[in-house]
Structure 1
C-alpha cells in the first residue's frame, strides 16, 4: 500500500479538526494486525503543535474483519459514551471519501499492548494485580451499549458460523469438528442480545501503570450473548504461558465478581466454561482460516503461516477441556 499518496488527502481531512496548514509527518505502518492496516503519524499544526494519531485502513481481501471501518468508528464512539476507555475518533469515512479507501483516524494512546510485556513488566505490577477485575468492569460497560447504537451489526449464530467457516476450509480437523458437535449438544440457554466486542483479550488492551487506558479493535463486534466476551478473554491462547485463566493476569472470581458488581448479567460458571471452550474452538478455526489465506496465495504472510501451526495447540486444548 502506497502510504505516501495518502498524506496529502489525509492532511485535508485533518484540517477540519486542526485548522489550515496542518501537516502529516512520519506516516508509517505499525506492526501487528492481520485484518486492518495500522499506521502511526503526527498531525503538526501551523503553529507547530504535534498531535500523535493512528490511521486505520482496510487490509487485504479475505481478511477477517466483519465490521466496516466507519461502523467500527461508530462503535468506538458508542463505547466511550457507555464508559469504555476508548481513543477519541478524529475522523472516519468510507471508500468514496477523500482517501479513496475506508479509514479511521483516532488519537494515539500511550501504553503497553504487547501481551508478554503486560504480563511481565515490573512497572505494570500494580495495574496487573487489578486487571482481571478492571476487565470485568469494562465488559459490563461494553454490554451496556444500546443494541441500536450502531446499525447493521451482525447477529448470526456464532457456533453455526464457526462450523460454516471450518467446512469452507475443506480440510479434515477431527478434533475441531468433534468439539463443535459437543458444543452444539451442550448449548446454554440463549440470553437477550447485547453488543459483543468479539475480540476482547490481552493484546487488544492498552495498559499503563494506572490500568487499562483503551480498548482496541472493534472489527469483530456483533450482537450476541455477552458471555461470549468473558469466555474469549479466558481462552488459553490469551494467557501467553501464564497459569492464571483470565488473560494470564487474573482469576475467574476476580473477573466475575467485578463484572456482576458493575452491572453485568449474573454469570453461571458452567455457561462460562461453554463459552471458554467455544472461544478455543473459534480460535482454532480462525487459525486454520488464516493459514488458508497464506497457502492459497491470497496473501503471502509469515504471520498467517505461523497462525496455521497453532491449530494443533487449540485442538489439544479442546481435548483437555472435554468432560
Structure 2
C-alpha cells in the first residue's frame, strides 16, 4: 500500500483540503485539543515539533489504523489488510507510528525495521507520529484504559 502515490494529503474523502502533510497534521492536533482541552499543552508542543521537522514527503496511501486485528491470514497463504475507513495519503512512517501505539510499545523505534530504515530523520518523524497517535488515543478513545495508557506515554511538556 505504501507504493500507491497520490497527489493529495490527508483523508481520502477530504484530501484536497490540505495542501501539505504538515497542514493535515496541524488540523488533526487542533481537533484533538478541542475534544480534550486538558491535553492542549501536548498538542501545542507537537505543533512546534511539526514546524521543526522536514515534512516534505511524497504522499503515499496509508491504512492509518495498522494493528494486528486488521491483518487476516487466509488458510491458502494469502494476507489481507481490512478496515480502511481511516485511510489517508501522507508519510508512510505515520502508519508505523500507529502500529507502535497499537502494539503498546514504549519506544516506536523497533518498527522502523519493517520499513528497513535507520536514518535519524526517519526516526525523528516516527517518534513525532507516535506521539500524535498517542494524543489521538488519549483524546478520543472510548476506553478509559486506552486513554490512560496513551496519556501516560505522551511527552512531558512545560
Per the normalisation by structure 1, the TM-score is 0.38
Q: Any conservation in 2 of the 1:153–1:221 contact (CA below 8 Å)? A: no
Which residue pairs with 1:214 in the alignment? 80
1:186 aligns with 2:49: yes
Greater percentage in strand: 1
Measured after TM superposition, the shift of residue 186 of structure 1 is 1.2
Measured after TM superposition, the shift of residue 196 of structure 1 is 1.5
Matching of residues 47-86 of structure 1 within 5 Å: none
SS in 1 for 2:68: coil
1:284 aligns with 2:128: no
Matching of residues 21-36 of structure 1 within 5 Å: none
SS in 1 for 2:116: helix
1:234 aligns with 2:100: yes
SS in 2 for 1:147: coil
Distance 1:244 1:160 in 2: 26
Unaligned stretches of 5+ in structure 2?
Answer: 19-23
Q: How many residues align?
A: 144
Deviations 1:16-74 (A, max 9, x none): xxxxxxxxxxxxxxxxxxxxxxxxxxxxxxxxxxxxxxxxxxxxxxxxxxxxxxxxxxx
Q: Any conservation in 2 of the 1:231–1:273 contact (CA below 8 Å)? A: yes
Measured after TM superposition, the shift of residue 152 of structure 1 is 4.6
Q: Any conservation in 1 of the 2:29–2:132 contact (CA below 8 Å)? A: no
Pick one of 55, 59, 63 that aligns with 1:197.
63
Alpha-carbon RMSD: 3.4
Measured after TM superposition, the shift of residue 309 of structure 1 is 5.2
Deviations 1:118-167 (A, max 9, x none): xxxxxxxxxxxxxxxxxxxxxxxx1111326xx75626413322322431
| Greater Cα radius of gyration, structure 1 or 2 | 1
Measured after TM superposition, the shift of residue 272 of structure 1 is 1.1
SS in 2 for 1:223: strand
Per the normalisation by structure 2, the TM-score is 0.71
Measured after TM superposition, the shift of residue 193 of structure 1 is 1.3
Q: Any conservation in 2 of the 1:194–1:226 contact (CA below 8 Å)? A: yes
Which residue pairs with 1:163 in the alignment? 30
CA 161–153 in structure 1, closer or farther in 2 if over 3 Å, else same:
same
Pick one of 116, 137, 151 that aligns with 1:315.
151
1:145 aligns with 2:4: yes
Greater percentage in helix: 2
Unaligned stretches of 5+ in structure 1?
Answer: 1-141, 288-303
CA 313–144 in structure 1, closer or farther in 2 if over 3 Å, else same:
same
